[in-house]
Amino acid sequence: MTARPDRVLYPANGFTKADAIAYYRAVSKWLLPHLRDRPLSFRRYPDTIRGESFWEKDAPAFTPSWIKTVAVPRRSGDSDIHYIVINDLRSLLWLVDVGGIELHPFLHRTRKLASASSIVFDLDPGSGADIGDCCEVALLLRDALAAIDLESFAKVSGSKGVQVYVPLNGNVTHAATESFARLVAEELARAHPKLIVAKMAKQLRARRVFIDWSQNADFKTTVSVYSLRAKREEPFASMPVTWKEVERRKPLEFTPDRAMARLKKEGDLFAPVLKLKQSIPNVPAATARGVEEPERSTRSGLPRAGSQSGRRLFLVTKTETGNELWIDMRGKFKRWILRPDREGEPQLVAMPAGQFDIDPAYYEGKVPPEWKKRVSIEDAGSYEIIDGSYQRERFDLWFSGRVLSGEWILAKTPGEHKSWLLAPV
């Protein structure tokens, strides 16, 4: 697998993958305890932050065997989701090396999937509101929680909002924490209707702060403390802040360098979130919603249309032109005509031949009736981008098919030729 440490992630300031790896190595002492034994969802960027990105929930097919995973049942009863668990530096750096820039752990641990270790209130400013308004809401939330003997801790999201955590570290279910968070959010919204909204509708959020209580559902994740974000042109980190800093509403932005310096000086301000035990009042629990819907078609096992994961559909077909490779890129099939290399190497010459809409039948591994006399499917499965983009004229791909499997490089040939080469690694 090609590392390409010089790959630029944030073009605005030239922050590279090597810089991201150096940052995560430097903060790992404080970050790893907050990831330990938690299923992890992560946002992966195989190119720059401006390029295509996707959520990885199920561990990618190219995940090394030494990476720990945990099987979590799906609501549908389909195959389990195998979430990655990051318990050590080696696993963390592998994740960053494959473009895992944003880290979003669950609020539960692997041995207590039904129990939330914390409650989180995600404060999101609507249009016309800003982080100063989020700070004002965070203080109201802190005081409301303190009135019922609950201590809370704040952090900036690294994007535009503030998040307030209430440590529990007991056996409270997600259904109970979600109901409690909703009750608190709705009470504050009733008391401060010009500042706070607790309803999901985005049209209600103008000039107000939305308290997202739904983040406490068992299938939701929240960006980890000390994680980098890819929301802006330059990297910022999600960082704990003191209540005095929230009260001052001072600029609460942390570049990687500022985040590392702060950690070295002050240590982990979020450490109490890992150990402090608290209880919440009894609240009628909402019905548990279970984990997310599957990312794959339940009938064929192939990736489904519109999946947000890194898995995409590929087909190796036989047509009147010979063998072709069709790969789903941004919802359309990119078509490549395959030819053996003249030099007799295992690589193939791949000629781009345009793109076309993907008929739903292909997601079932079938040829649409009108094309059955002209097209046959030789192989079908999922592929994942490890690294690369069209702009760079190079892709590092992982195929999970019967014939086309493992790691392959798809790269344009030098010069003015239109051909590319598809070669196994």
Query: Quick one: pLDDT at residue 250?
Result: 77
Query: Quick one: pLDDT at residue 288?
Result: 39
165-210 pLDDT tens trace: 999 999 999 999 999 999 999 999 999 999 999 998 878 889 999 9
3 is a domain residue: no
Is 162 within 8 Å of 123 (Cβ atoms)?
A: yes
164 is a domain residue: yes
Q: What's the mean pLDDT in 142-154?
A: 98
Residues 317 and 402: their CA atoms lie apart, in Å, by 13
Res 403 pLDDT > 70: yes
Q: What's the mean pLDDT in 124-130?
A: 94
361 is a domain residue: yes
Structure tokens at 189: 């919204």
Residues 149 and 236 in one domain: yes
Residue type for position 55: W
Residues 333 and 269 in one domain: no
Domain region containing 369: 312-424
Query: Quick one: pLDDT at residue 266?
Result: 95
282 is a domain residue: no
Residues 18 and 157 in one domain: yes
418 is a domain residue: yes
376 is a domain residue: yes
CATH of the domain at 187: 3.90.920.10
283 is a domain residue: no
Confidence of residue 293 (pLDDT cuts 50, 70, 90): very low
Tell me how many domains the chain contains: 2
Residues 315 and 334: their CA atoms lie apart, in Å, by 10
287 is a domain residue: no
Residues 244 and 106 in one domain: yes
Residues 320 and 367: their CA atoms lie apart, in Å, by 15
Query: Quick one: pLDDT at residue 290?
Result: 40
Residues 186 and 45 in one domain: yes
Query: Quick one: pLDDT at residue 285?
Result: 54
Res 300 pLDDT > 60: no
Q: Which of 55, 6, 48, 27 is nearest to 234 (CA)?
A: 48
Residues 223 and 327 in one domain: no
Query: Quick one: pLDDT at residue 301?
Result: 66
Query: Quick one: pLDDT at residue 124?
Result: 95
| Mean pLDDT value across the chain | 91
Query: Quick one: pLDDT at residue 297?
Result: 42
Residues 225 and 364 in one domain: no
Res 299 pLDDT > 50: no
